Structure 1
Amino acid sequence: MNESAARIEHFLHTDPRDVGCDQAMEMLHIYVDLVAAGEGAQARYPGMAAHLRACGPCAQDFEGLLAAVAN
């Protein structure tokens, strides 16, 4: 499978609730605070949860910020 076909395949399997990187970065601090407080962030912001499952770089930012908040 060539690169273009792989990108199309990935797009077709993207969760339609995925908020995308721009919106994820805008609300990452809010999402992290909810997760850290055990406030059901995934249920409250399913588009954010979908994005973090699909986007490695944003998931890394999330994990780093969550670790910083936990300390």
Structure 2
Amino acid sequence: MNDWSALDRFLHTDPRDVGCGEAMEMLHVYVELAATDAEAAERRYPGIAAHLRACGPCTEDFEGLLAVVRESPR
């Protein structure tokens, strides 16, 4: 069975995508902003937002950190 939609997504990577390295380097900053205003995080860091839309493993890291930030007392 072929998964053409996954291949299509791979071949049409957003040119703003910063890649795993830069996304992971700035993920803690992105998470802090996204915890209070997700739209502001996407506007301020469009390359990270583009990467998270395309990369499952990085998205899992983002969601895990976001859950921790939202659960911790401020």
TM-score by length of 2: 0.80
Matched residue type, 2:60: Q
CA distance in 2, matches of 1:42, 1:59: 14
Point out where structure 2 has 5 or more consecutive residues left out of the alignment.
Answer: none
Distance in 1 separating the partners of 2:54 and 2:9: 10
Shift of 1:38: 1.3
The one-character-per-residue Cα deviations of 1:27-62 (angstroms, maximum 9, x if unpaired) are 000000000121600011111000000000000000
Within 5 Å, give how 1:23-62 maps onto structure 2.
23-38=22-37, 40-62=40-62
* Structure 1: 4+ residue segments shifted above 2 A: 9-12
Unaligned runs of 5+ in 1: none
Distance 1:29 1:63 in 2: 11
Aligned residue pairs total 66
Deviation at 1:12, TM superposition (A): 3.0
- Whether 2:14 is the aligned partner of 1:15: answer yes
